[in-house]
Amino acid sequence: MDLNNLEKLTQLNGVSGREDAVRAEIAAQLQALGLPAHTDALGNLIAYRKGTGPHKIILCAHMDEVGLMVKYISPDGFLSFITVGGIDPRTLLAQRVTVHTASGPITGVIGTKPAHITQEAERGKAVPLSDLFIDVGLSGQEAAQTVALGDFVTLERPFVRFGNGRLCSKAFDNRVGCFCLLEALKRVEKPLLSVHAVFSVQEEVGLRGAGTAAFGLEADAALAIDTTGAADIPLCRPQDYLVRLGGGVAVSAIDAATITPKWLFDDLTDLCRKENIRHQVRIAPRGGNDAGAIHRSRTGIASCALSIPTRNIHSNVEVTDEKDIQAATDLLCAVLEKGLKGLK
């Protein structure tokens, strides 16, 4: 795997609704593979590779990341903001951000009331989103001339490798899914299944892109490649881990948006066993992904999520494991090369 490419993808900025830079980079990589892609009205990037067999599959990975949006500029030049996508406010304090203005990006820092002037009752509580602000180092007049309401804000953090095969970065959700899909397209030039490769938009704000893209495509099955939260950490019970880092690609049985058809779940897990692909079962009582929108498209498309376990999800220090990324890529390749038994 070319992890340098994964780093490149994570360091691009693409909050939901502003995926332009990510889309441009992926489109260039698809073009280099001889797969010209088109962009639909909502912004989804869609490519097609014809297979040798009669069946078609959608492989979908969303391009967007969670972020912030400026909602108010104070007379002193501080910015109030809302979240774009699900972000835990506890992860935001004292983080460096980039505010994307019409004249270019500027650096900011998220702050709140200093601890030494807070009341005793305040100190033991998480700081609410309404008490956070972005300091961009400008006066009120300068900020008003530079920043506009509605400007998007991205969380910043470099890509680093640490420990034994662990990776940390912003935006693994879901540039790692985009990376796995690109890797599979590089490796499997002559698939059995014809593949619609969809790089979707606005997943983090309601699975909006995938549903639109799927409506315009004909397919017999679909796989959404995404991250999923791993709670294999202190303070969590083993039965609440959902998935473990290093445990392999997570094949979803159920989440809040999708129940995987039995034949598809069985085909995927059987393929993992036959091809010696490390895998685990994902049973998630909450959360969803693009499979939840795709499976309701048209008259219905059998869909399943393939997930890369990720700690600290929806933060700028998301943690993944190289082995899980490799396993997800290997399963995508096996599906394209071997097909699915349930497709008749």
pLDDT of residue 286: 85
* Cα–Cα distance for residue pair 127/276, rounded to 1 Å: 46
Pick the CATH number of 3-65+170-338 from 3.40.50.12160, 3.40.630.10, 3.40.50.150, 3.30.70.380: 3.40.630.10
Q: Is the pLDDT of residue 42 over 80?
A: yes
pLDDT of residue 246: 96
Model pLDDT for residues 159-190, shown as the tens digit of each residue: 999 999 999 999 999 999 999 999 999 999 99
Strand partners, 135: 78, 109
Greater confidence, 325 or 128?
Answer: 325
Average pLDDT, the chain: 94
Quickly state the pLDDT bin for 241 (edges 50, 70, 90).
Answer: confident
Q: 178-209 burial, b if ≥16 CB within 10 A, otherwise e?
A: bbbbbbbbbebeebbbbbbbbbbbbbbbebbb
Provide the percentage of residues in the chain whose pLDDT is more than 90.
Answer: 86
Q: Is the pLDDT of residue 123 over 80?
A: no
pLDDT of residue 96: 95
Report the predicted TM-score, pTM, of the whole model to 2 decimal places. 0.95
Active site (catalytic) residues: 203
Q: Does domain 67-155 fall into CATH 2.30.130.10?
A: no
Q: Is the pLDDT of residue 119 over 70?
A: no
pLDDT of residue 125: 73
pLDDT of residue 252: 96
Strand partners, 167: 161, 320
Q: Is the pLDDT of residue 287 over 90?
A: no
Domain ranges of the chain: 3-65+170-338, 67-155
* Cα–Cα distance for residue pair 217/275, rounded to 1 Å: 29
